[in-house]
Amino acid sequence: MSFIKGLKCRECGREYPKEPLHVCEFCFGPLEVDYDYQGIQRVLSREVIAQRPFTMWRYRELLPLDEEPMVGLRVGGTPLIKADRLAKALGAAELYIKNDAVNFPTLSFKDRVVAVALSKAKEFGFEVVACASTGNLANSVAALAATNGLRSYVFIPADLEQGKVLGTLIYGTQLIGIKGSYDEVNRLCSEIAGKYGWAFVNINIRPYYAEGSKTFGFETAEQLGWRLPRHIVVPMAGGSLITKIWKAFQELQKVGLIEKSECRIHGAQATGCAPITTAFKEGADLIKPVKPQTIAKSLAIGNPADGFYALKTIRESGGWAEDISDEEIIEAMKLLAETEGIFTETAGGVTVGVAQKLLEKGAIPKEESIVISITGNGLKTQEAILGKVGAAQVINAKLNEFEALVREK
Ligand SMILES: *Cc1c(COP(=O)(O)O)cnc(C)c1O
Ligand SMILES: [Zn+2]
């Protein structure tokens, strides 16, 4: 049973049918999926959800499919851990990590959006799926397309980390490396999407795709015992995830799954690509595109498609936006690994480091509950820490050499 009414323009409110559309013909505003929330409230309860498998699909009434999901049936259901050792290091009282570094199958939160996008693409009858990616989306589209016999074309900046490149090629996709930044990749893909009848997950079926991000928020609230944290720190690339976590929290209140409550949503970027946090700090409404230069390549979008709405989300929720340097990103990756045993990619370094900065300056009060979003896995961005974490001490397989080495310490 489906509860999607159709698509609706975020700007002028015009309604559109459930089709592969993404911009309003009248005002060029982005289209968003519109649901029958009263209908959902009638069928969806905490008890109903609790009986379902712990995957992202346990909230399926709040996802934009008309049929049963066909792709990525085991995506989601990642751990929310109470991070006491990291909390102590940061001087926070109640800190949690939502850990999508172990999301199945490709170890980033992108599996959530791709599971929805490819299921929807199959409903629409597409045979070829495609994406413009900063890396994790590439892995996820290639893997999930492979499991469903869909042909895939994946477009990336040619200079991505090897883990992301190999972690795409292994699935037998058509991988196209563009000499240029993500923003140039995206511009080319918009032209291709208009010309070829392919489902570009983050272009022509973006309204459906983006809804998958909400499950990160749904799970977080459920894992906290059906409540919101007072703060959540979210990484921003195109600015979609942060707006959808906010939407998820609103929807849970709208359908009566949680009490009315407030959560401040804080946006995190790398200083080398910080168009959204810069606009926030300057009090601007418009985002000035930048040329990215940072090790946080998964967040390196200089002209963020949802930047305007990301800013709005942060401001309406009473949150902050902050950015940190590449050195700080590496320090934060190490801190998370050494305190909680979680090896995150550079994007996770960004959220941990920004949380630290917001705590230090008092933007997040130390005694209030905080969730830090970890969205990707460190094994994919090894270049970033090469030479920054020491090296193995190499000896011959002789006890005396080992003992000499231990004595030196
Ligand atoms: C894509 C991505 C994000 C953020 O994506 P948005 O474009 O802002 O939705 C965050 N973290 C990682 C690891 C990503 O790959
Ligand atoms: Zn419109």
Residue 366 belongs to some domain of the structure: yes
| For residue 1, pLDDT beyond 90 | no
Whole-number Å distance, alpha carbon 13 to ligand 2 midpoint, is: 6
Q: Is the CB of 245 under 6 A from ligand 1?
A: no
Q: What is the pLDDT of residue 12?
A: 97
Q: Is the CB of 377 under 6 A from ligand 1?
A: no
d(CA 357, CA 374): 16
Q: What is the pLDDT of residue 19?
A: 95
Average pLDDT over residues 129-148: 97
Residue 341 belongs to some domain of the structure: yes
| For residue 409, pLDDT beyond 90 | no
Q: How far is CA 159 from CA 155, 203, 227, 302, in A?
A: 12, 22, 41, 16
Q: Is the CB of 376 under 6 A from ligand 1?
A: yes
Ligand closest to CA 11: 2
User: Total structural domains in the chain?
Assistant: 1
Decide: 133 and 155 in contact? Cβ < 8 Å: yes
Residue 99 belongs to some domain of the structure: yes
Q: Is the CB of 298 under 6 A from ligand 1?
A: yes
Residue 90 belongs to some domain of the structure: yes
d(CA 123, CA 126): 8
Q: Which atom of ligand 1 is nearest to the CA of 244?
A: 9
Q: Is the CB of 108 under 6 A from ligand 1?
A: yes
Residue 321 belongs to some domain of the structure: yes
Report the percent of the chain where pLDDT is more than 90: 98
Whole-number Å distance, alpha carbon 144 to ligand 2 midpoint, is: 32
**In sequence order, what are the beta bridge partners of 97?**
81, 372
Name the pLDDT band for 408 (thresholds 50, 70, 90): confident
CA-derived radius of gyration, the chain: 21
Query: What's the mean pLDDT when you consider all of the chain?
Result: 97
Name the pLDDT band for 100 (thresholds 50, 70, 90): very high
Q: Is the CB of 269 under 6 A from ligand 1?
A: no
Tell me which residue of 299, 303, 305, 304 sits closest to 329, measured CA to CA: 299
User: And the tokens for 281?
Assistant: 């700090």
| For residue 71, pLDDT beyond 90 | yes
Q: Is the CB of 350 under 6 A from ligand 1?
A: no
Residue 398 belongs to some domain of the structure: no
Name the pLDDT band for 176 (thresholds 50, 70, 90): very high
Whole-number Å distance, alpha carbon 110 to ligand 1 midpoint, is: 7
Whether cis (ω within 30° of 0) applies to the bond prior to 105 is yes
Q: What is the pLDDT of residue 365?
A: 98
Average pLDDT over residues 159-166: 96
- Ligand 1 pocket mutation, candidates 375, 377, 381, criterion most atoms within 8 A of CB: 375
Whole-number Å distance, alpha carbon 313 to ligand 1 midpoint, is: 16
pLDDT in tens, 377-404: 999 999 999 999 999 999 999 999 999 9
- Domain harbouring 288, CATH code: 3.40.50.1100
pLDDT in tens, 337-379: 999 999 999 999 999 999 999 999 999 999 999 999 999 999 9
Q: What is the pLDDT of residue 119?
A: 98
Q: Is the CB of 241 under 6 A from ligand 1?
A: yes
3-state secondary structure of 197: coil
Whole-number Å distance, alpha carbon 361 to ligand 2 midpoint, is: 40
Whole-number Å distance, alpha carbon 117 to ligand 2 midpoint, is: 23
Residue 325 belongs to some domain of the structure: yes
d(CA 261, CA 246): 12
Name the pLDDT band for 296 (thresholds 50, 70, 90): very high
Write out the residue range of the structural domain in which residue 332 sits.
Answer: 80-106+210-385
Whole-number Å distance, alpha carbon 178 to ligand 2 midpoint, is: 32
Sign of the torsion angle spanned by Cα atoms 44, 214, 378, 268: negative
Average pLDDT over residues 120-142: 97
Q: Is the CB of 212 under 6 A from ligand 1?
A: no
d(CA 167, CA 165): 5
- Ligand 1 pocket mutation, candidates 241, 245, 314, criterion most atoms within 8 A of CB: 241
Q: Is the CB of 347 under 6 A from ligand 1?
A: yes
Q: Is the CB of 136 under 6 A from ligand 1?
A: yes
Q: Is the CB of 319 under 6 A from ligand 1?
A: no
3-state secondary structure of 331: helix
Name the pLDDT band for 199 (thresholds 50, 70, 90): very high
Compute the residue count for the chain: 409
Average pLDDT over residues 320-345: 98
d(CA 236, CA 86): 22
Whole-number Å distance, alpha carbon 298 to ligand 1 midpoint, is: 6
pLDDT in tens, 202-232: 999 999 999 999 999 999 999 999 999 999 9
Name the pLDDT band for 194 (thresholds 50, 70, 90): confident
- Phi, psi (deg, nearest 5) at residue 82: -80, 120
Whole-number Å distance, alpha carbon 334 to ligand 1 midpoint, is: 20
To the nearest 10 degrees (0 to 180), the angle between helices 346-360 and 326-340 is 90
Average pLDDT over residues 80-86: 98
Residue 318 belongs to some domain of the structure: yes
Give Cα 279 to chain centroid, integer Å. 21
